[in-house]
Amino acid sequence: MANGDIIRSAGRGIVRLLVNGKSKSLGKRIPQELILVDVVYAPALEINLLSTWMLNEMRLRVIVNGKDSEIQLRETQAVIANLVPINNLFFLDIVEDPPMLAAAVKKPNCRQK
């Protein structure tokens, strides 16, 4: 940390987020599943940090352009997630509306057949 403290992690794993992306053809927000791999869980941190370097490793790119900031697929430039600027930080635009969560496509895991 900036003050010299050491923060210990409690594990690593995969995180699935339902975020608001953007359809360029429709010009509106659409829910997208963003899967983050090799995520470090550090419960002592009060906010989750997202590494642009790790997004690049996942074949994604971050476009920072004020209110039009977003995460895109590198090959197709398809918008995966919108970024919301607040106090010099960018936050993922997470789906919070329960009807949108209920309408999201649920994929069965390997135990569900």
Instruction: Say yes or no to pLDDT of 109 above 60.
Output: no
User: For the chain, what are the domain ranges?
Assistant: 11-97
Q: What is the percent of the chain with per-residue pLDDT over 90, rounded to a whole number?
A: 22
* Summary count for the chain: helices (H), strands (E): 2, 6
Between the alpha carbon of residue 38 and those of residues 15, 45, 98, 99, 103, the distances in Å are: 9, 17, 28, 30, 27
CA angle 12, 18, 23 (to 5 degrees): 130
- Does residue 43 register a pLDDT over 90? no
- pLDDT tens-digit map of 53-63: 999 999 999 99
Q: What is the pTM of this model?
A: 0.71
Q: What is the pLDDT of residue 95?
A: 87
- Both structure tokens of 5: 């403290």
82, pLDDT greater than 80 = yes
What type of residue sits at position 41? Y
Higher pLDDT, 94 or 105: 94
